[in-house]
Every structure is written in C-alpha cells, then in structure tokens.
Structure 1
Amino acid sequence: MKKRVSLIIGVIVVIIASIALVYQNTKKEVASKRPFPQHTVYQSGTIKPDNVLQEEMDDEVADFYKTWKKKYLKQPVDKNDEYYIFYNDKGYAEPKNAVTVSEAHGYGMMITAIMAGKDHKAKQNFDGLYRFYKAHSSKNNPSLMAWQQVKNKKGEIINTPGDADSATDGDMDIAYALLLADQQWGSKGDIDYLARAKDIIEAIMLNEINQSQSLIKLGDWAEDKDHVYGQSTRSSDLLLNHLKSFETATGNHKWKDVRDEAYTIIHSIYTTKSDNTGLMPDFIVQSKGVYQPAQADFLEGPNDGDYSWNSSRIPWRYTIDYLLTGDTRALGQIQRMNNWIKEETHGNPENIQSGYMLNGKAVEEGNSTSFVAPFLVSAMVDSSNQLWINKLWSRTIQEHDDDDYFANTIKLQTMIVVSGNWWSPESNT
C-alpha cells in the first residue's frame, strides 16, 4: 500500500513538474520583445504634449485601450478561437446586420501587436484576429480579406453575400500588423507571422496595385484596364510607411515605386488644388494623366472630392512616415494643413468641423474626434505647435457623445503615436 501511494505521489510530482516546465516554456515563447510602452525616438525636432507627463500619457493610452478593447473586441458565438472588431456600434452601417469590416480588422491587429506587454492576452487576441481574417477571405485572392462581414439568421458571421471582394487599406494594415507581430513575438509559433505577412503583401501587389502605374487601387475588384476605378485611389490608402516596410520585408523594390508614386500624388493635389489648406480629398482620380479630386458621388457620396470621413485620417497617416524615417516629401503639405486648421479654428480644437472643401469651407458641422485626433499627430512636426498640441491632447482624451467605433479607434491609434509608442517593424527604440 505504501509503495502504491509513493508511486502515485511520484507520478503527481512528475506531472506537476512537467506542467510547470511547459508553462515556463510557453511563457518564454510568447514573451513580448517590444512591450508597451516603447517610447520610440522620432525624427529630431518633433514634439509631444508637454502639459502632461510621459507616464501620464502612457497611462491614458493603456486605460483607453482597455475601454476600447472591452467595447469592440468580440468573438463569434460559434468560434471560440477567433476575434473580430465590432464596428457597427451605432447601427449606421448597411446592411443593418453588418458586424465588421477589414478596415476595423487591420486597426485591431496593429493595436493589439503594439499593446503587447501591457496586455497579457495580446498574443491570444492577435492570433484570434488572424484566424478570423483567414476565415473571411476575398473571393479574388485567399490572402486578402473580404471587406465586410455580416451576421446571418443563425447568428453566424459570414462575408456580405455577393460582395466578398477587398478594400486595400484593410489588407495593408493586416500585412503591417503581421510584420509587427513577427518583431513582437517571433514567427516560430503556431503562426509564421513573417511568412503570412509576405503572402498578403504579395497578394496586395498582385491584386491591389495598378502594375503599369504603381498606383494603389481601391480594392482587388478594380481592374487595371478600368479607366475609372482602376486608375483612381483613396487618399487615406497612401500608407507611406507601410510601403517602406513592405519593401524591407520582401526585398521587392516595386514597393519603392509605389511609395514614390504615392508621394507624387500627394504633391500634385497639394500644389494644384489645396496649396492654401493642404487638405486632401477622400478620392483621387486621373483625368488625361493628371491627378484630380473625384467628383461628387464617385464612390461613396456627395463629399467624395472633399476632405471628409476618409481623408480625416491623413494628418495621422501621412505624418507617421516623417516621424519614423524623416522623409520630407509630404512635410510641406502636412505643415500647411496643420497651420491652416490652427488658423481656421483660432487655436481651439472645439472649432474643428467634420469635413471641409479643399478651399477650406466647411461642408459638415460637428466636432467629431475622427477629425480632431489626427491633427494631434501632424502637430508633432513643428515646435511652434506646442500650445496647439497641448490643447489637442486635452480635447482628444475627453469622452464625446458622438464617439463611435471609427472615432474611438482613430483616437486610440493617434494617442499611441503621440505618446511615442508607435514603431515600425524595422525601427529601433
């Protein structure tokens, strides 16, 4: 009897030791290599808010991340190993049963990779987001994501029936997030992040870039030979720093051509259409080889040629490349845009309206955080903006009645950047 008890105890001890070893190995395997906060060193001469301590900014980001995650990170009822970002929280999206889009998914994957270290579930959440992306691929290329998902009558989440093609910005953010994940956790686990990033980057080049013009298209549904949609772009899809990272990760120098063309487009619109404001239109088309703002109702609505809900992201999206690389090709446009909005609002962020014509006339009243928060990032480029960036920070961290998925998700990402916690896959702290 004593021998049997001793044997049982010995077995239990071995099991416990094995579990402990597995736990330690697992813990080591998923440890974050670049945990939040990172305090990235941006381009010399750039600024942050100085009316708040660095630790306080980090805490504000971490606290709002928790709020954002609780509200928007969801799981399908029938898939406990998947996650998605719920974007239809105000019920505005069509159809009414829409639950997410690839844009939201890309944002969620980037945010999750950046916040690792502060959030012990970041890798679990990221991998679940990855699995959801792979389960909802575009009909045109399995490495791209269908642009929208809906909930059917059974409660299952499926691609929007008859509309399972892609939107370029979502795919670009997903690819960038996978590169971040490779640097954050390595690629030797269940998901080879780097290999999967290269897959989607290759698919973007094949299906979402106009090959003869090195032009970022609207999605994989726009064919190069289509003289309207195949030769147009969304200004907020000109993700300049993403393009550099894609080239570095793949060694494909076609990405340099795409990046150069993106800068050419920005400069062309700025110098010919908005030299007084620096504003960019939601959509850009070509007319006889010349880039122009799109006409009303080109794709989404009457403000397609204005600085509206798509291009509201530009002060954040364009400035990141300057912060991380020092590339000055869009700096004039960024400075003009920032100086104009500061003058237009008399230095009061509460006066920023929710959309403008390129000449600076407001087209939609309101003070949505979607339009306010991105100017936080563009304000970083010049020390003369110190009082302005302080005011923008104070306004951005407030809660507003109109804040929804779009506003709150942009808010979180701009807060990450301005607090010094955004980094590129090839950057050093």
Structure 2
Amino acid sequence: MKRRAIRFTVAALCFVLAGIGPVCPIPLLQGGNVAFADEPPRRPFPQHVSYAAGTLRPSHRTQAQQDDDLRAAYDRWKSNYLTRTKEGHYRVKIGRGANAPTISEGQGYGMVIVPLMAGHDPEAQTIFDGLWGFFNAHRSPADSRLMAWRVNLQRPDRGDGNSAFDGDADIAYGLLLAESQWGGREGNGINYMEEAKRVLDGILDRTVGPASRLPMLGNWFGPDGAPFNQFTPRPSDFMPAHFRAFGQSTGNPVWGEVVAACQRVVDSFQKNVSPTTGLLPDFAVVEPSGAVRPAPPGFLEKEWDGCYNFNAGRVPWRLGTDALLYGDPVSAAQVKKMADWVLVETAGNPHGIKPGYTLDGSPIASRNYFSTFFAAPFGVAAMVAGQQEWLNAVYDAVRLQEQGYYADTVTLQCLIVMTGNYWTP
C-alpha cells in the first residue's frame, strides 16, 4: 500500500477508529497528516543466508546473539547518522552534527543497509523512500541519472555536483534490494526496478570505461582524459557481487565484462606488484596492455594514494562478499591472499591491524591506533579463507565499537555479512 499523507477530519478519523467504517490499517499521525504504516517486507530481517560451500560464520556466539549484535549496531548507526530533512527526505550524515554534509557514498550505504534491516526497523520503507527522495533532490547536473557527490545543505557553495562511482553503484543496488522487499505492489509510489535501471544506464554511459570496462571515478572527466581516465580506477570500486546482480536484473552482459576486467586488475597487482600481501592501492593506473601500477602520491587525494589506505580498505569486504554470495573462485582466491597475509602479519591479534599499509606490507608511518574500518573487512575475508579463530576475534574486536561515520558504516555492512544477513536481490 502506498504511504500517503491524507488529511482526515477528526470526526472521520474517530469514525474509522471506532470500527464503524471500513477496516483499514491504523494510520500514524504525522504533523496533522496521516501516514500509513510500511508494507511488510518479503524478506524480513533476520534472513540467515546460507553462503557458498566451505565458507565460515562466527562460531563463538549463537545466531540469536549475532542478530542482536546487528540490531544494536544498526540502531546506533541510525541514531548517529540518519536524519530527516525539513522536506521530509532522509539523508546519511558524514558526522553526528545536525548540519554534517551528505555524500553519495553514504547515501548509497544507507540505501543498501535499510532494506536489509527491514523487519527489524518498521520504518524501513519510509526511510528508504526518503533516501531516494534526497537523491532526487540532489542529482548531478552533468547527468541527472546520477547523484551529486557532496551535498552541504548549510553551505551549498561547498557542495560538489559531480558524481562518484561507488555511491551510484550502491544506490542502484539498494533500489534492487527495495524491489525485492516491496516492489511490484499496487499503489507503490516508486517503481524501484525502473529507477534502478535508469541509474545503471547512467553508470554505464558515464562511469564505466568503454574500452577498459573498469569503473571510472565519476562523471567529471572523459574516458580518454588526463590524468584521470578509464584506466585510472579506484580498486575499492570493484564490487563484483553488485555487478553480477546488475547483470542478472537487467540482462545486460556488459556487467560480466566489468567483473572480468576488475578481476584482471586485481590478479595483475597480486602477481606483479604485491605478491606477498595481495594488497591493492587506493588508486591504480592500468596500461592498455594490462600492466598495472599504484597511482603516484597526491594523485587525487593524499600522499598515500598508491597505498592500501582509506579507500582500498574496503576491498576485502567487496571481494569477500562476491565469494560468499556467488561462490566465485577468482574472488575467493584473491581475498584469501590478503586474508592469509594479515593473519600472519598481526600474529592473530585483530588490534594489530594497522590503519593503512604500503603494498609491501609496511605500516603507514605515524599511525598508531585501531580502526574498525580496516579490521571489519578482514572479518569478511576470514569467512572465505577458512580462518575460524581469526574470524571470531575480528568479530569481537569490531561489534561494539563506535568510531565515526565512515568506520561505523562500513563496519555495519561487514556485520550484516558476518551475521549471515546479507542477500542478493
């Protein structure tokens, strides 16, 4: 049932509540209007997905305990980073302050998280539709099928209307999840599948290399530009599980080509650049011949752009999720290489995971703290690599932590995977 804002007279409302009128869902009062409760999800949390054969789940806590861990983590995240705008939309803030900006990455994360938690959160569809409404209000001027990368409601001059691949890819995936949960019902105000296809068309047209088939950073340069082009990807944008779902949902075989292109880059790095660690850089340069190298310092963001840093730290989670959901042997082997290295490097102590490494495994200097952002993705990797004690230890190291928007949001998604509650649309 579509959630409407319908103004009732007091008499009419009493008439319904008294049972005199036709039976209908009891509405929720919102500022003088009435909004009907969400449709029940088709795949309510918890789902307890059976992942690929031979993979692991945390074994030291019961399934009920893991579900409770995830509920608590989601509730903390929702309280800290999800907010409703004066227009009635929802957005994910990149900080706890009321005026913290929103970036498309966070909006995409929210649009993936919320449908997966439907069944725990009774407002999930309302929130999801509000997240989509915020997207609609802040599309990229360069291509309205994509989202503006940075939105600062207090200082619009500090926003950025260009797109970012990762945010748009998660937004599209979230729409596919929403279609699985609530789509196709009479009266739904949003056609989630059609909107997903529209976003995916924009991604393919503007941010997938026509020759490389690699994700491009965004829509703010052309495929043959300099220094950014279709051969300068961010490896954390390699989301093979997403790409497989995109192909299945649209019937477009190009997404299989994107998976293969990404896996070739990972393979080349692990064989020729980081054979000991298997680590990937924040940003990469790929020659048309297939040769790869890390981007130079300051390529886009910081001096560590060629290191395993605050972008690439997501890679074990992204590749591991593909191995878990689809049983892909290439993703499994690639993530296992990283998982085997970090287990030895830390001597089995998750708190020994450093917040960033050079590709040869040397910790980035001057950083001496524990970050769940770097630890939680290795928990997903451990599920694939057969590291039961290490998986349990990583799970315990991250499940109760609160460390800020980025770490908390990535960790929450890793917990969704580790608890067996991540599924394909």
Q: Same fold (TM over 0.5)?
A: yes
Q: Is the 8 A contact 2:176 2:193 kept in 1?
A: yes
- Matching residue's letter, 2:147: M
Shift of 1:291: 2.1
8 Å CA contact 1:296, 1:302 repeated in 2: yes
Q: Which residue in 1 is equivalent to 2:335?
A: 334
Instruction: Determine the structure 2 residue equivalent to 1:351.
Output: 352
> Which one-letter code corresponds to 2:101 in the other structure?
V
Distance 1:14 1:409 in 2: 41
Tell me if structure 1 keeps the 8 A contact 2:15–2:21: no
Partner of residue 278, structure 2: 278
C-alpha distance in structure 1 between counterparts of 2:206 and 2:278, whole Å? 30
Gaps of at least 5 residues in structure 1 are 1-7, 92-96
Distance 2:151 2:182 in 1: 28
Q: Secondary structure at the match of 2:152?
A: strand
The code of the aligned residue for 1:197 comes to: A
Deviates more, 1:193-202 or 1:252-261: 252-261
What is the letter of the counterpart of residue 15 of structure 2? I
- In structure 2, what is the Cα distance between the partners aligned to 1:316 and 1:148? 24
Other-structure match for 2:146: 144
Structure 1 residues 263 and 404: CA distance shift in structure 2, 3 A:
same
Note if 1:83 corresponds to 2:90.
yes
Please provide the CA RMSD for this pair: 2.2
Distance 1:90 1:268, change over 3 A: farther
* Aligned with 2:124 (options 113, 122, 125): 122
* Secondary structure in 1 matching 2:320: helix
Q: SS at 1:198's partner residue? A: helix
Residues 19-418 of structure 1 mapped to structure 2, 5 A cutoff: 20-23=23-26, 30-76=39-85, 78-79=86-87, 81-89=88-96, 99-152=101-154, 158=156, 160-161=158-159, 163-188=160-185, 189-230=188-229, 231-287=231-287, 289=289, 290-363=291-364, 364-383=367-386, 385-399=387-401, 403-418=403-418
Query: Quick one: which amino acid aligns to residue 54 of structure 1?
Result: Q
**CA offset at residue 44 of structure 1?**
0.6
Give the Å deviation of 1:228.
2.9
Q: Which amino acid aligns with 2:337?
A: R
Q: Quickly say closer, same or farther: Cα 1:135–1:50, change in 2 above 3 A.
A: same
User: CA–CA distance in 2 between the matches of 1:205 and 1:246?
Assistant: 11
CA contact (8 A) 1:349 1:372 kept: yes
Structure 1 residue 366: Cα displacement: 2.0
Structure 2 contact 101–153 (Cα < 8 Å) conserved? yes
Secondary structure of 1:20 counterpart: coil
- Provide structure 2 residue ranges, at least 5 long, that are not aligned to the other structure: 1-10, 28-34
Offset, 1:32: 0.5
Q: Which residue of 2 aligns with 1:4?
A: none
* 1:48-99 residue CA offsets vs partner (Å, 9 max, x unmatched): 11111111000000011111101110122x31x20000103489xxxxx751
2:31 matched residue in structure 1: none
Identity %: 37
Aligned residues: 401
Contact 1:168 1:217 in 2 (8 A): yes
Distance in 2, matches of 1:29 and 1:88, equals 28
Change over 3 Å in CA distance of 1:40–1:17 after alignment to 2: farther
SS at match of 2:285: strand
Kindly indicate whether the alpha-carbon contact (under 8 Å) linking 1:134 and 1:143 is maintained by their aligned counterparts in 2: no
The alignment's TM-score, normalised by the length of structure 1, stands at: 0.89
Alignment CA distance shift 1:14-1:28 (3 Å): closer
- 1:56 is matched by which residue type in structure 2? Q
Q: Is the CA contact 2:38–2:126 (under 8 Å) kept in the aligned structure 1?
A: no
Distance (Å, rounded) in 1 between the aligned partners of 2:424 and 2:286: 31
TM-score by length of 2: 0.90
